[in-house]
Each structure stands twice: as structure tokens, then as C-alpha cells.
Amino acid sequence: KAGVTQTPRYLIKTRGQQVTLSCSPISGHRSVSWYQQTPGQGLQFLFEYFSETQRNKGNFPGRFSGRQFSNSRSEMNVSTLELGDSALYLCASSSTSANTGELFFGEGSRLTVL
Amino acid sequence: AQRVTQPEKLLSVFKGAPVELKCNYSYSGSPELFWYVQYSRQRLQLLLRHISRESIKGFTADLNKGETSFHLKKPFAQEEDSAMYYCALLYNTDKLIFGTGTRLQVFP
């Protein structure tokens, strides 16, 4: 079974631009969560989708948004990028409808904002 | 508010020494706690969960509700244990939050 796949793996943007990151969950997994990982803050929860519906949302500004498609693939978008958005964005999938705490993570998309 | 605290950013020990990675949480409900590990150049992965009460790779963790702690322990550290360790809390049965992580370095 292929693992969680995230694209692109690395990208560089400038302030004010917007970015879209993609995540393909493990086949059969319908829940997708997104986290922002930084050295100082650890992993911070962005949002979680299940069956195309946003089920949970973290405390990030509205510039951060996401969606999930019928095939469970998910995208997250960050608009009007700021320097502080530089981070590793991790996607994780889960097979269960309820969150059991067992997530399968991708390798991440490393975003650098200049 | 719900919170997971890992007070140590870095823990360095020698091979064969005991290891204890600290984790404290704040949550008024019934917590479910986990330890995740990220080895160098590998994905973040689940190490263990408190409800399983199992030992994985020699690591154990006991939930202490009185002290609101879930420390990760191993009696004899190995070099291959060097990694980043994250404690996580599942609350309201559907939100998983993580601590800031502790880097464990095991020297030969």
C-alpha cells in the first residue's frame, strides 16, 4: 500500500503570493488532517477533512484554507503569504470515521517564504 | 484550554542509560495520549498509545491522571533511539494536538 503522498516536496514563494499544497491519502483512508511543523512550535493543527467536509479547524487565520475531493485527496491553500508561514506542512490520513489518534503522515511539503 | 507540554527540547544520554521523556497535558475530560516518533529522514509515525498499555521498542508510557503526565521511558537507551519524539493528546474524541517535541540524542 502506498503511503501518504504530498506534493510538491519543496517550494519557495515570496511574500504576498499564494500557494496550494496537495495530499493524497493512503488508499481507503477518508480522513485527512493538516499540520504546520516549525522548530519552535512543533506541530500545530490546521484542519481535518472527512468525506469532503471540514470536521475540525485549528486556530489559524482565514488565509489558510483547505478542501477535500470525492477521491479523498486534499489540498490546502495559503493566500497572501507571510515570512512566518515558512514551515513544513504535514498531511496525515486515517482510516476511521472517528479520530482514534492514529495518523499516517506524509513526508511533508517544505515551504520557504522570502 | 487543552495543551500538551514537553519541557525539554533536547535530551542527551549515553547508550545504556535510562531515558525519560517528559509530557504533561491539560484537559478536563478523559484524555487519550500518544507518543509519536520521527527518525532522521523518516516520516512521523505512531510509537505507542496509552490505552494499549504496550511496550514498543522497549519504550513504555504510563498515564498518571493525578499528575496529568504521560512520560515516555526506556530502561536502556540505544543509539537507534535517537529521534524527535512528540507527545499528543486526543480530546473531545476528535482533535489531536501535539507538544513541541523533544529531541533525544543517544551517544555511543
Asked if A42 and B90 come within 8 Å (Cβ–Cβ), the reply is: no
Smallest Cα distance from A102 to chain B, Å: 7
Distance CA B30, CA A23 (A): 32
Nearest Cβ partner of B96 from A41, A99, A107?
A: A99
> Cβ B88–A101 below 8 Å, yes or no?
yes
Nearest residue of B to residue A46 by CA position?
Answer: B97
The predicted-structure confidence for A52-110, as pLDDT tens digits, reads as follows 999 889 999 999 999 999 999 999 999 999 999 999 999 999 987 777 889 999 999 99
The per-residue pLDDT string of chain B (108 residues; one tens digit each, 9 = 90 and over) reads 889 999 999 999 999 999 999 999 999 888 899 999 999 999 999 999 988 878 889 999 989 989 999 999 999 999 999 999 999 999 887 789 999 999 999 999
Half-sphere exposure of B103 (CA within 13 A, CB side): 8
A96 touches chain B (CB under 8 A): no
Give the total residue count for chain B: 108
Note whether A103 contacts B98, CB cutoff 8 Å: no
- Cβ–Cβ < 8 Å for B38, B44: yes
Q: How far apart are CA B62 and CA B6, in angstroms?
A: 15
